[in-house]
Amino acid sequence: MSFKVKGKIVGSGELAVVEMEKGFIQSVQYSLAGSERITCPDDLWLAPALFDIQVNGFAGVDLNSGRTTPEEMEQVIMKLREKGVALFCPTIITNSFEHMAACFRAIAQACRNSKIAEAIPALHMEGPYISPQEGPRGAHPLQHIRTPSWDEFQRLQECAQGLIGMLTLAPEVDGAIPLVEKVVESGVAVAIGHTAAGVKDIQAAISAGAKCSTHLGNGSHALIPRHDNYIWEQLAADQLWASFIVDGHHLPPSVVKCLVRGKGVSRSILTSDAIAAAGMPPGRYRIGDLEVVVSPELRVERANSTGSGYLAGSALDLVRGVEPGRGYPHGFPESCDLDGDS
């Protein structure tokens, strides 16, 4: 079955027609003939496919199981494409060396298939060199948080066959800054996240080459000083990009509005932090060794701490984070004029 969709191109506002057949784009016309009679909503926008830098799992597949098969990777890729995501970074979180190594090996093995590899530009290693404090630690298992190690990182990179392209760590942890320098020199991007860092630690990480903040505004204490804190410091750092989880649970709409205005659209990254429950019904799921509960409102919390306020990834379909017309919590705030005119 073939059909055409007309809309405005994001960024330019130019009208275009996309011709589809059997779920695939066949052509894009930017010059509309006068005879074109295609009905569509006036507010329909057309955009390139999305790139999600933090995906722990999707559609029932846990990428942190250590047993991900090529067939499961293909399932994740196809389900993400249905949601508008063409590229993504499988994200492996804090665990024992053996378990993280198994996760990286399994995904690297799957990436030997060229069709899988073309959807995965890099892997994201989130932890285990993060803050052990309750709050900044988030859902990462305390027993596996450890001191930064260049030797361990190299061994994990070897297990991943060189595919690790991003490392999230806490810069205040002993040995973190020297590791940042070595990891950046090896060609891997470093992000600050799950941190309780002070100003000097954040600035030292930036000087060592850190370029991003992982899900800024989350992975933090429930209460922090109102002025001198690690969220403001990262937001103010022009050298840092920042990712945000816009699912209606991780950040209130007013906070999203301020964070994106502060960081600027050009340095803001929408990410899902999706777990295996994303794209699935509410219920109980696992991410690595952690059991989580997904509420009917698609809020994800640790199974033993429901109601605590601490989240454990999201069940977000990334496109819902930018989808106009639906409003929060299932889309970016409709009235969020990022230039500050309203």
- Give the CATH number for residue 221: 3.20.20.140
Residue 325 CB neighbours (<10 A):
10
* pLDDT, position 289: 72
**Whether 30 and 132 share a structural domain:** no
203 and 187, same domain (yes or no): yes
Residues 21 and 80 in one domain: no
Do 235 and 98 sit in the same domain of this protein? yes
Judge whether 56 lies within some domain: yes
Tokens matching residue 332: 């970016």
Identify whether residues 57 and 40 lie together within a single domain.
no
- Region of poorest pLDDT, from 71-85, 187-201, 313-327: 313-327
pLDDT band at 327 (very low <50, low <70, confident <90, very high): very low
Q: Please tell me whether residues 284 and 317 are part of one structural domain.
A: yes
Question: Within a domain: residue 326?
Answer: no
Q: How far apart are CA 24 and CA 34, in angstroms?
A: 25
Q: Is residue 65 part of a domain?
A: yes
As a whole number of angstroms, the distance between CA 175 and CA 169 comes to 11
Q: With bands split at pLDDT 50, 70 and 90, how would you rate the model's confidence at 332?
A: very low
Each residue's pLDDT tens digit, 216-246: 999 999 999 999 999 999 999 999 999 999 9
- The whole-number average pLDDT for the span 265-289 is 88
Contacts of 104 (CB under 8 A, 6+ apart): 92, 123, 156, 159, 160, 163, 164
Peptide bond into 128 cis (omega under 30): yes
Residue 330 lies in a domain: no
User: Is 339 part of a structural domain of the chain?
Assistant: no
Per-residue confidence band for 117, with pLDDT thresholds at 50, 70 and 90: very high
Decide if 77 is inside a domain: yes
For 21-86, the DSSP string reads ETTEEEEEESS--TT------TT-EE-PPEEEEEESEETTEETTSS---HHHHHHHHHHHHHTTEE
pLDDT of residue 330: 44
Are 35 and 14 in a shared domain? yes
**Distance in angstroms (rounded) separating the CA atoms of residues 165 and 314:** 22
Give yes or no for a contact between 142 and 94, defined as CB atoms under 8 angstroms apart.
no
Q: How far is CA 156 from CA 97, 222, 240, 289, in A?
A: 8, 32, 25, 19
From 12-16, 139-143, 188-192, 223-227, the region with the lowest mean pLDDT: 12-16
DSSP category for residue 49: P
Q: What is the pLDDT of residue 310?
A: 72
98 and 184 share a domain? yes
Return d(Cα 125, Cα 129) in angstroms, integer: 10
33 and 127, same structural domain? no
Which helix H or strand E contains 77, and what residues bound it? helix 70-82
Query: Helix 70-82 and helix 97-110: axis angle, to 10°?
Result: 70
Domain, as residue range, for 111: 52-321
pLDDT of residue 121: 97
**pLDDT value of position 298:** 85
pTM over 0.85: yes
pLDDT number for residue 328: 43
Locate 301 and state its tokens.
Answer: 């919390």
* Domains in the chain, number: 2
- Could you tell me if 104 and 247 lie in one domain? yes
Q: Which tokens hold the place of 174?
A: 């002993």
pLDDT tens profile 61-116: 999 999 999 999 999 999 999 999 999 999 999 999 999 999 999 999 999 999 99
Token couple for 4? 């055409």
Q: Are 148 and 175 in contact (CB under 8 A)?
A: yes
DSSP secondary structure code for residue 318 in this structure: G
Burial degree of 112 (CB within 10 A; 0-12, 13-18, 19+): exposed
Q: Are residues 39 and 62 in the same domain?
A: no
Q: How confident is the model at residue 336 (pLDDT cuts 50, 70, 90)?
A: very low
128 lies in the same domain as 30: no
pLDDT at 30: 82
Q: Is the pLDDT of residue 44 over 90?
A: no
